[in-house]
Amino acid sequence: MSEIVDAWVRRLKGKLRPIGEMTHWERMAAAFELRRSDLVPVAPELDYWQITYAGYSHAEIYNDVDKTTDACIRTWADLRTDAIWMYVDISHQIENFIPPEKRPEHFVHRGDKDYLLFKPVAKTIDEAIELYESRAYERYLEGSRAVTHYVPHMLQLLEFQEKMDRIVPVIVGIATPSNYAETLVEVQQFVRWTVTEPKKVKRYLDLALEERLAALDFYAEIARKHGLHFVCLFGGARTWGPRQLREFGYADEIFVQKAVKLFPYVFWHICGHNLPEAMQLLVQWDGIKAVQYDMPYYSQKLSWPEWCESVARLFAGKRCAMNSPTTQTACHGTPEDVRRMVREFLDATLPHTTAVVMPGCEVDSYSPVENVRAMIEEARRKPLP
Amino acid sequence: MEKAERLQKLAQAVLEMDVEGIVPLVEDSLAAGLSPVEILAEGLSAGMRQVGERFKQGEIFMPEVLVSCDVYYRGLEILRPLIRQTGGGPVRGKMIIGTIYGDIHSVGKDVAVPVFQAAGYDVIDLGVDVPDERFVEAIREYEPDIVGLGTYMTSTFMHTRETVRVIEQAGLRDRVKIICGGPAVDPAAARRMGADDASDDAWEAVGKLDRLVEELRAARRSV
């Protein structure tokens, strides 16, 4: 029971104007199941943006679960997107790998709109392996923000979802083994080691996988008791090449195989410059219903519509495509740039598969409100084929 | 072994990520009488150019590029003091570069620095999470033509405005050109924030550096 959730439920339940014929939940579910929906769903990953939109600073919400939840619901009530993304910061993910007395060295608040800066937990591959072998993440779990902030916030949003009779889904992000493995040591180091220390990288990934598979059991319990249905698997491996995908992709694949058995609506997040081979893998991994993808890889000389169409053709009959505008355009472009990019994505995608308007990565805190509104309006305006 | 063959082997070592082999290769080449500048320009740097071409063609990818850069650096470490002693070869321009305040990523900078060096730029790497004041100090200390701001997230790219403001406040803005680099940059947005340009491609950025240095020199000549 949460007072902040109950206050919002009293204010909103039965009083919201319908957006279309379907509820937000039904619209998202239809897109995931490759069925026709009444409108194109729009579900931007609002992340830090929703905190400042709701009038809070990051420092203000950092240690206040109620304000975090309030920001997410307040933003949704205003914008009526088709999903509520829970707020996650990097300390939620890795604080339980760090002894309590050392945590202040690892996280730096820079400004009200800026991401929490974090410093890697391990500097060498051997240190990283040792972190897992010594099960540091279990030893330091109690009192970490994973327990004190991440879980309570997730439960509050799921409580809201359930008390609102599932008219809108809450999206919970779960990091994959590759994401954890890269985050703990910093991606540039990890990527080098895939070339210079492949055996140790395999050992490291195996350990990360073991921890992540156990974490899924925890989320499965949340799903059973609290109605977690929509899960975003945050993939790492964004700077890997085809060789790395072939040699090390197994860890994420095993993780996916378990996740898709636990949650009905699983999608994969792959931001950055996407390799065609990575997109092909995501089509092969059974059970993923949608892919939040981003920009084409550096060596692919494709326009935005060509890129979106090539992905849509690949996804036809298999995956829902989630994209547009790019995080960069949402932040630096004009509302018209945003509208054009959304239109181009939908025009290229809808003839082949279903679509959700959702930038390939988070909406940055500095993104103008009018750009986010333009994204939503353009999605709502698009007639379905 | 012929000189041309040695240079080709050096380039090949960079391309093939020969982390262990590069040091003996450079030492052997020096012992055989090749000059440090030749080894750098026609061996290691030629290798880096081939890395760029293969990356653009989609034949190699970021992990391989990063390790090739490490190999280049290993060779450069041996050559740098020798080049300094002999006065070095021609330099296209001087640059300081660092990942902007609040950002600890270096995946792009680790590629950009050797690419710029291989193209003939004298590059001073200030590291990651560089405070704005450090850029000011480094401009005074090294008197560069170019300030490179590495920004790897959209939110840290937005810090460009503040870094430029601090450089301006120190009265140094007219002395340098400022370019942003990284996957999240946008040239128009960079200019709106007071920088001169931006690029998400190290090889493409070399052309932009050349143009900026030329503009800066033309402005200096006109003063």
Domain boundaries, chain B: 3-86, 93-222
If you average pLDDT over every residue of chain A, what do you get?
96
pLDDT above 90: residue A108: no
Q: Which pairs count as long-range contacts for A14-17, CB under 8 Å and 24+ apart, including other chains?
A: A16/A77, A16/A80, A16/A167
Query: Which pLDDT belongs to residue B79?
Result: 92
pLDDT of residue A348: 98
Per the CB < 8 Å rule, is B154 touching A331? Answer: yes
For residue A193, the chain B residues in CB contact (below 8 A) are none
Alpha carbon distance A173, A192 (integer Å): 27
Which CATH number do you get for residue A215?
3.20.20.210
Whether ipTM > 0.95 holds is no
pLDDT band at A110; cut points 50, 70, 90: confident
CA distance B82 to chain A (A): 28
Is the pLDDT score of A212 beyond 80? yes
Q: Out of B70, B184, B189, whose CB is closest to A192?
A: B70
The residue-averaged pLDDT of A297-312 equals 95
**pLDDT value of residue B89:** 67
Q: Is A60 exposed, middle or buried (0-12, 13-18, 19+ CB in 10 A)?
A: middle
Of all residues in chain A, the percent with pLDDT exceeding 70 is 100
Banded model confidence at residue A115, pLDDT cuts 50, 70, 90: confident
Say how many CB pairs under 8 Å bridge A and B.
97
Mean pLDDT, residues A59-86: 97
Query: Do residue B155 and residue A48 have CB atoms under 8 angstroms apart?
Result: yes
Considering only the beta carbons, identify the residue of A113, A119, A275 that sits closest to B155.
A113
Nearest CA in chain B to A237: B63
Determine the distance in angstroms separating the CA of A299 from the nearest CA of chain B, rounded to an integer.
5
Is A117 within 8 Å of B56 when comparing Cβ atoms? no
pLDDT in tens, A8-53: 999 999 999 999 999 999 999 999 999 999 999 999 999 999 999 9
State whether A299 and B55 contact (CB < 8 Å): yes
Give the pLDDT of residue B207: 95
CB spacing of A331 vs B101 below 8 angstroms = no
Residue of chain B whose alpha carbon sits nearest to that of A108: B102
Q: Which helix (H) or strand (E) holds A380?
A: helix A369-381
Dump pLDDT digits (tens) for B101-128: 988 888 788 889 989 998 899 999 999 9
pLDDT digits (tens, 9 = 90+) for B122-135: 999 999 999 999 99
Do residues A384 and A39 lie in contact, with contact meaning Cβ atoms separated by under 8 Å? yes
Which of chain B's residues have a Cβ under 8 Å away from the Cβ of A187?
Answer: 105, 107
Point out the least confidently predicted range of A74-78, A115-119, A333-337. Answer: A115-119
Percent of chain B with pLDDT over 90: 75
Which residue in B has a C-alpha nearest to residue A330's C-alpha?
B154
Rounded Cα gap, residues A116 and B103, in angstroms = 10
Tell me the C-alpha distance between A74 and B217, whole Å.
53
Q: Mean pLDDT score of chain B, rounded to an integer?
A: 92
**Which residues on A lie below 8 Å from B186 (Cβ)?**
328, 332
Question: What is the pLDDT at residue A380?
Answer: 96
Instruction: Determine, for residues A118 and B104 on separate chains, whether the beta-carbon distance falls below 8 Å.
Output: yes
Q: With contact defined as beta carbons under 8 Å apart, do B13 and B22 qualify?
A: yes
Residues of chain A whose beta carbon is less than 8 angstroms from a beta carbon of chain B are: 48, 108, 110-111, 113-115, 117-120, 186-188, 191-192, 194-196, 239-244, 272-273, 275, 297-300, 327-328, 331-332, 364-366
* CA distance to A89, A171, B223, per residue, from A61 (Å): 11, 19, 52
- Quote the CA–CA distance of B126 and B121 in Å, as a whole number: 15
Q: Which residues span the domain enclosing A282?
A: 3-11+19-381
Q: Report the SS3 class of residue A336.
A: helix
Of B57, B62, B186, the CB nearest to A241: B62
CB of B26 closer than 8 Å to CB of B77: no
Interchain CB distance below 8 Å, B201 and A275: no
Mean per-residue pLDDT, A235-243: 93
Contact between chains at A331 and B55 (C-beta distance less than 8 A): no
- Chain B nearest C-alpha distance from A187 (Å): 8
Which carries the bigger pLDDT value, residue B174 or residue B220? B174
Question: Considering just the CA atoms, what is the radius of gyration of chain A in Å?
Answer: 20
Substitution target from A328, A337, A367, A371 for chain B, most B beta carbons within 10 A: A328
CATH of the structural domain B3-86, one choice from 1.10.1240.10, 1.20.1050.140, 2.102.10.10, 3.30.420.10:
1.10.1240.10
Q: What is the pLDDT of residue B80?
A: 84
Question: What residue in B sits closest to A295 (Cα-Cα)?
Answer: B183
Q: What is the pLDDT of residue B88?
A: 67
Which among A48, A106, A190, A191 is the top mutation candidate for probing chain B, defined by the most B β-carbons within 10 Å of its own β-carbon?
Answer: A191
Q: What is the pLDDT of residue A102?
A: 94
Q: What's the average model confidence in pLDDT over A240-264?
A: 97
Which one has a higher pLDDT value, B170 or A238? B170
The distance of A186 to chain B (nearest Cα, Å) reads 7
What residues have CB less than 8 Å from A273, skipping those under 6 apart? A238, A294, A295, A296, A297, A298, B183
Say if the Cβ atoms of A114 and B184 lie within 8 Å: no
Number of domains in chain A: 1
pLDDT at residue A118 above 90? no
Residue B200, min C-alpha distance to chain A (Å): 9
Nearest CA in chain A to B110: A188
CATH code for the structural domain at B93-222: 3.40.50.280
State phi, psi for A232 to the nearest 5 degrees: -100, 120
Cross-chain CB nearest to B19 (options A194, A196, A241): A196
Per DSSP bridges, beta strands A320-323 and B93-99 are unpaired
Let me know: does A338 contact A325? Beta carbons within 8 Å: yes
